[in-house]
Amino acid sequence: MPSGPSVACSAMARKHMEPPGFRRPTRRPALIVDFGGVLTTSIWPAFAAFCESVGLAPGTVRDLFRGDGRALALLRGLETGELADPEFERRFGELLGLDEHDGLITRMFAGVATDERMVGAVRAARAAGVPTGLISNSWGLGIYDRAPTELFDATVISGEVGLHKPQPEIYLLGCERLGVEPAEAVFVDDLRENCEGAEAVGMTAVRHRDAAETLPALERLLGVALATTDRSP
C-alpha cells in the first residue's frame, strides 16, 4: 500500500476540510428481483395442479424441465424470444401428449398468485430510495400483464432482449439499465443457478424460498425496513 508524505498530506487535507461529525455518504444498494416464484407464489405447485387437471402425474412438467433435453430447448427458445408463444405451446403440448395446445401457458400458470408481501417489500424499498429493477426469464410476454412493472426503475425481460438467466450478459444489462455496478446490487431469485449467475458477475444474491426468510435478509443488506405487519407464510 502506498505511504509517505504525499499520502499523509492528502489525509491531513481531508481531515481539515471535513467538519466534525462529517460522514462520507454511501450509496444505497439497488434491489433487483425475479418475477415468477419471487413476486408470485411458486410455479411448481401450479404446474402440478395443471398436470392433474389434464390427467397427468403431478410431477410431469417439473420432470420434463429438469431432465428432458427437448423440453429444455423449448423453454430456452421461449425465454429468449426465438419461439413465439403459440409455437412453444404446440410443441410442448405434444411432449405432454395433449390434444389441446391453445392457451397452454395461461393454463399452466392458472394457479400462480401474486405474493403481496414480496410486492410490498419492493414498494417499500423504492419508497425508501432504493433503486429497483426486474430481471425475468419470460414464460411468454402475456404473463407480465400481472407484473407490477410500475414498481421498477428498470426491467429486463429475457424474451425482449434475446438473453436468459444465468447468462452473465442479462445481469449486466439489468445493472446498466438501472445505472449501478453489479457490486452495488442485491439480486433475488428462487432458482439456485440464477443466484449463482448473479454472484458470478459480482452481485449479492438472495435465494428466495418464502417472504418470512427473504425479508429479514433484504432488510440487512439494504438497510431499510421492508416488513409488513404479517410475515407468516
* pLDDT tens-digit series, residues 95-137: 999 999 999 999 999 999 999 999 999 999 999 999 999 999 9
**Residue carrying the nine cell digits 452481485:** 203
Distance CA 176, CA 154 (A): 9
Lowest mean pLDDT among 7-11, 77-81, 152-156, 180-184: 7-11
Nearest-10 crossing angle of helices 211-222, 116-127:
10
CB-CB contact of 222 with 130 (8 Å): yes
Domain boundaries, the chain: 30-42+113-222, 43-108
Which are the contacts of 56, defined by CB distance < 8 A and separation ≥ 6? 96, 97
Task: Write out the CATH class of domain 30-42+113-222.
Answer: alpha beta
User: What average pLDDT score do residues 134-148 get?
Assistant: 86
Between CA 149 and CA 141 the distance in angstroms is 13
